[in-house]
């Protein structure tokens, strides 16, 4: 049988923020992830979940300074040194608060912004925007102002704006914590749909019970990897906090 290759590898990762050089935020973290899977990144507030995600997409250390030791590879790229423009077409980062990410006056413009920055031909931009609107079933919102949508719809548009860059990997930072029940249903459905279309997802979430359908849970405690494996295995072992 052919062995499947991992898409993301982290080996013995440790990290200090430049603004707080005495405090180790992440310590000796090792894991790898197979493509087309969902990984829930879970742990108590302040344990280092967002820091880890920002290292994976290069925001740390390229925009926020700090010292990283260990190895990180994302689709064979080193996010420490790879230009952020290249990282953005490899791994999308959906922020905790979609209002910080959405700025265009229509949903269509929001979705077109990334590919426009890549200087793609107009026909290709149109194709990507149409494809993503169909995938997310948001064509009816095309001319709406993203800022006036419901919480769940905003999450869809924020995801859509990243998906038009056609990254293989998507990180979602607490996408269900701040939406109502209807929004939660939309966002959880989106995750399953993206996995089915071949994307690899990392989802940071406090409320891990909602992510029972994830392929694995990555549990962080005080900057250390406490557990990594299938949800039922972790439950059985009592690996939760
Ligand atoms: N830019 C920064 N400079 C210094 N310390 C920071 C910075 N950003 C975060 N931290 C600290 O790093 C630690 C880990 O923060 P991080 O945001 O990664 O945790 P988290 O697990 O995502 O928390 P939450 O669930 O509350 O979002 C926290 O103690 C936080 O205060």
Condensed to tens digits (0 to 9), the pLDDT of residues 208-236 reads 888 999 999 999 999 999 999 999 999 88
Residue with tokens 């169909």: 134
Give domain status of residue 238, yes or no.
no
Question: Looking at residue 143, what DSSP letter applies?
Answer: T
**Complex ipTM:** 0.98
Give domain status of residue 2, yes or no.
no
Which one of 18, 46, 68, 93 would you pick to mutate in the ligand 1 pocket, going by the greatest count of ligand atoms within 8 A of its CB? 46
Is residue 20 within 6 Å of ligand 1 at its C-beta?
A: yes
How do residues 2-50 score in pLDDT, each as one tens digit?
A: 567 999 999 999 999 999 999 999 999 999 999 999 999 999 999 999 9
Rounded distance from Cα 12 to ligand 1 centre (Å) = 19
Give domain status of residue 1, yes or no.
no
Is residue 25 within 6 Å of ligand 1 at its C-beta?
A: yes
Phi, psi of 9 (to 5 degrees): -130, 135
Across 11-44, b (16+ Cβ under 10 Å) vs e yields eebbbbbeeeeeebbbbebebebeebbbbbbbbe
Give the model's pLDDT for residue 241: 60
Is residue 46 within 6 Å of ligand 1 at its C-beta?
A: yes
Q: How many domains does the chain have?
A: 1
On whether the CB atoms of residues 28 and 14 are closer than 8 A, the answer is: yes
Q: Tell me the average pLDDT across 75-95.
A: 95
Give domain status of residue 235, yes or no.
no
Give domain status of residue 106, yes or no.
yes
Residue 112 sits in a domain whose CATH number is 3.40.50.300
On whether the CB atoms of residues 144 and 65 are closer than 8 A, the answer is: no
For 60, the 3-state DSSP assignment is: helix
Rounded distance from Cα 132 to ligand 1 centre (Å) = 32
The boundaries of the domain holding residue 42 are 8-230
Give domain status of residue 215, yes or no.
yes
Residue with tokens 């077409």: 89
């Amino acid at each position: 049988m052919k062995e499947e290759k991992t898409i993301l590898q982290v080996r013995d990762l440790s990290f200090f923020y430049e603004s707080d050089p005495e405090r180790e935020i992440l310590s000796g973290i090792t894991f790898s992830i197979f493509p087309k899977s969902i990984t829930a990144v879970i742990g108590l507030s302040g344990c280092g979940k967002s820091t880890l995600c920002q290292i994976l997409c290069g925001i740390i250390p390229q925009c926020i300074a700090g010292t990283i030791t260990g190895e990180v590879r994302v689709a064979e790229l080193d996010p420490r040194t790879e230009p952020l423009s290249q990282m953005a077409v490899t791994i999308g980062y959906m922020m905790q608060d979609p209002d910080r990410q959405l700025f265009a006056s229509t949903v269509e413009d929001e979705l077109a912004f990334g590919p426009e920055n890549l200087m793609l031909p107009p026909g290709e931009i149109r194709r990507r925007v149409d494809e993503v609107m169909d995938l997310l079933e948001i064509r009816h919102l095309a001319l709406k102002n993203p800022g006036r949508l419901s919480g769940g719809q905003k999450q869809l548009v924020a995801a859509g704006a990243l998906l038009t860059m056609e990254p293989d990997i998507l990180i979602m930072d607490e996408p269900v914590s701040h939406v109502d029940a209807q929004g939660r249903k939309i966002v959880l459905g989106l995750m399953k749909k993206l996995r089915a279309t071949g994307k690899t997802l990392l989802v940071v979430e406090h409320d891990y019970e909602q992510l029972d359908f994830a392929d694995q849970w990555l549990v962080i405690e005080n900057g250390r990897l406490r557990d990594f494996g299938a949800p039922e295995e972790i439950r059985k072992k009592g690996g939760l906090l």
